[in-house]
Amino acid sequence: MTTYGLSDEHVELANMVREFAEEVVAPVAYEADRTKTLPLDVVAQMGDLGLFGLPFDEQYGGQGGDYLALGLAIEALGRVDQSIAITLEAGVSLGAMPIYRFGSEEQKQEYLPSLLSGKALGGFGLTEPEAGSDAGATRTTAVLDGDEWVINGSKQFITNSGTAITRFVTITAVTGQRDDRKEISTIIVPSGTPGFTVEPAYDKVGWHASDTHPLTFADARVPASNLLGERGRGFAAFLHILDEGRIAIAALSTGAAEGCLEAAVDYARKRNVFGEPLASRQGIQFLLARMQARVHSARLAWLHAARLRDAGQPFKTEAAIAKLAASDAAMDNARDATQIFGGNGFMNEYPVARHFRDSKILEIGEGTSEVQLLVIARALGVA
């Protein structure tokens, strides 16, 4: 790709992860998808490369980089395998980042070194059967009993929650009432806590190799010190985490859109129809041109949002725009690439078929497209 004004260090990182994706991730992607298995050996290698620690301080085992660097890594992985890309994205944005942003120094020292090295994963339990985009409808409760929180409720669609290296999930829970409204706090629940059950994995349409489970809590007890951040500020804190995560999802979406484009260009050049390459047809040329325009626009959008975030400037609206545009690009490019591939595009061994299944969730997870439109409309002062 062109450099897009990136520093030499960022370009080197992007090229390194792109090479890793092609040489290590891509060869096992189909089998991992077919067997619905997260390849933990690949996750370990990502940890060895420092990918899980990219945007964190070195004092906790991080790489001292920025969110732009993380986005470049996620984009490079998303180009060949969205399941691996979302494992990194969720491991950083939803697992480690809440601890880093809102944890006590003791919590940071306890959890971050293993998370940033890729030796452990954490999940974040926000969504419930009756609380998705309307997360304020949270029903899971946590009641103080002496020096312990007693947790009851359920969560759904929780990424990285049931792997062999999952160390904990951080959940939102109602911890009381404040000004006639629910007081929502975030609490760390270690894996293996009695009363905390990771239910069987979902049978998903896509992201087959990504680990995703519903969770239940039945009088699960954790120490009062497992409160993450200020009591009653859990929902507000997670909204900030979601803003950052939307940049990362936009980067993943851009990678997926580019993977579809590259596969479609290669196929159109090699596939002969009526004695001529498919790419010689102007209709196909125009289709590919539109696919390239989507990739370029999506990349510009997420890079801009990441640069604002890293500069300490407001980025909420730009993150919403990036996620909206990039997830649309991924879905549109997956559809067009599948059409170019014809019957082969319906076969799972071809990456475009997997991208077609995988890309739909990009318009839903970490805030639906409708939520992004609402955020943008509010910024315009019309909602």
Single out the catalytic residue among 128, 258, 366, 370. Answer: 366
Look at the alpha carbons of 39, 45, 46, 52 in this order and tell me if their dihedral is positive or negative: positive
Q: Which residues contact 124 (CB under 8 A, 6 or more apart)?
A: 90, 94, 95, 98, 158, 169, 170, 171, 238, 241
Q: The tokens 């926000």 sit on which residue?
A: 126
Q: Which residues contact 195 (CB under 8 A, 6 or more apart)?
A: 151, 217, 218, 219, 220, 221
List b or e across 8-19, with b for residues whose CB sees 16 or more CB atoms inside 10 angstroms.
Answer: eebeebbeebbe
Contact 122, 192 (CB under 8 A): no
Residue 31 is among the residues annotated as catalytic for this protein: no
Q: The tokens 């984009």 sit on which residue?
A: 75
Rounded CA-CA distance 184/174 in Å is 5
Which are the catalytic amino acids?
Answer: 366
